[in-house]
Amino acid sequence: MAVRKKIRAYSDEQHAEARDGLRCFPNGYKYRLLDGLVVPPYVTPQRYKLARTFETRPGDICYCSYPKSGSTWLAHIIVLITRNGVTPEDSTLRSNLNWVESSWTYPRSREELDALPSPRIFKSHMPYRMCFGGDPLTNSCKYVYISRNPKDVATSYYYFEKGKAWSGHYAGSWDDWLQSFIEGNVQRGDWFDHVLGWWEKADDGNILFMKYEDLLSNYTSEVMRLSRFLGYELSLETLDIIRQKTTFSNMKQDQFSNMHEIEDFEGFFRKGKVGSWKEQFTEEQLYMFDRLIEERLEGTGLTFDYE
């Protein structure tokens, strides 16, 4: 496996395939529409079709999330769970993962994916209705969805998308960004629809629903819950090794996990905490966003910690 070669920055010419499907919001943010969902240009119709129709097998794991919800952290934990805490040699986190819906950063053909040994780990940022592998209820993959409070997601996403090639080098203001986020006019669409789509299916057997905030505040019991769900029994010693390897500071400096091999990926490990929204939202924005959260999450049973 392995490969420490540099992954070139996203470019439409190399990665967008169906370039005539690319669009741009008036604020300059680039996207394409797939089944009515706003997605990045590198989520191409061909890759999406492969992801949707991919035949999973027992032992497969797919971790899913809305962007900026802690999925890379979760991915590192999953890789270590499946390897009893041992970091794979001569490879990077990215090269151990399979992001089928994306033509960048690691496209693999159906044949390459079929030839991979179990357990295969897949990544997806799709909503439930567009999920990797088709209908989660009728396939043999285990799905882990990680969610995060929407104030921190909106904040993290703003800093991540600024100036990136796949977002059309978006240079809009925070105010504009928040408005687009609320309207669902950012890549992967409306946060509430995304999270609630998975939340409503969370008790259906092969889906585990997690929260970033719980992982931060209750790491050991959350990782035990995750490993049992995936079918792995870990010793407390191994859990502790995994905990140390996946702290924010270790992931940021470790060549295995810090994504140094991807160009144009600066600022990925930004704050790694709960509550960085406090430095971002104005009082007026908070008032309005809190009302929106109340309205959209009311009666769903889904709540988040915000600090």
Of residues 179 and 276, the one with the C-beta less far from ligand PPS: 276
Give me the 193-222 binding string for ligand PPS, x by CB under 6 A, dash otherwise: ------------------------------
Restricting to residues 46-65, which ones interact with ligand PPS according to CB under 6 A? 65
Of residues 16 and 97, the one with the C-beta less far from ligand PPS: 97
- Interface with ligand PPS includes 156 (CB under 6 A)? yes
Instruction: Give min distance, CB of 249 to ligand PPS, in A.
Output: 8
Q: How many CB atoms lie within 10 A of CB 125?
A: 23
Stretch that binds ligand PPS, among 22-30, 87-95, 200-208, 265-273 (CB under 6 A): 265-273
Of residues 67 and 150, the one with the C-beta less far from ligand PPS: 67
Instruction: Give min distance, CB of 267 to ligand PPS, in A.
Output: 8
260 has catalytic annotation = no
Active-site hit among 125, 169, 194, 260: 125
Indicate which single residue of 270, 286, 293, 306 sits in contact with ligand PPS (rule: CB under 6 A).
Answer: 270
Best CA proximity match to 167, nearest among 68, 80, 257, 70: 68
Strands 61-65 and 121-124: parallel
The count of C-alpha atoms lying within 13 angstroms of the C-alpha of 295, restricted to the half-sphere facing its C-beta, is 7
Which two tokens mark 245?
């390897």
Indicate which single residue of 276, 286, 293, 296 sits in contact with ligand PPS (rule: CB under 6 A).
Answer: 276
Amino acid code (one letter) for 174: W
Of residues 77 and 196, the one with the C-beta less far from ligand PPS: 77
Which two tokens mark 216?
């931060």
Phi-psi region of 77 (alpha: psi -120 to 50; beta: other; left: phi over 0): alpha
Instruction: State the Cα–Cα distance between residues 91 and 149, nearest whole angstrom.
Output: 32
- Interface with ligand PPS includes 73 (CB under 6 A)? yes
Instruction: Give min distance, CB of 157 to ligand PPS, in A.
Output: 8
Active site residues: 125
> Site residues (CB under 6 A) for ligand PPS?
65, 67-73, 152, 156, 246-248, 251, 269-272, 276
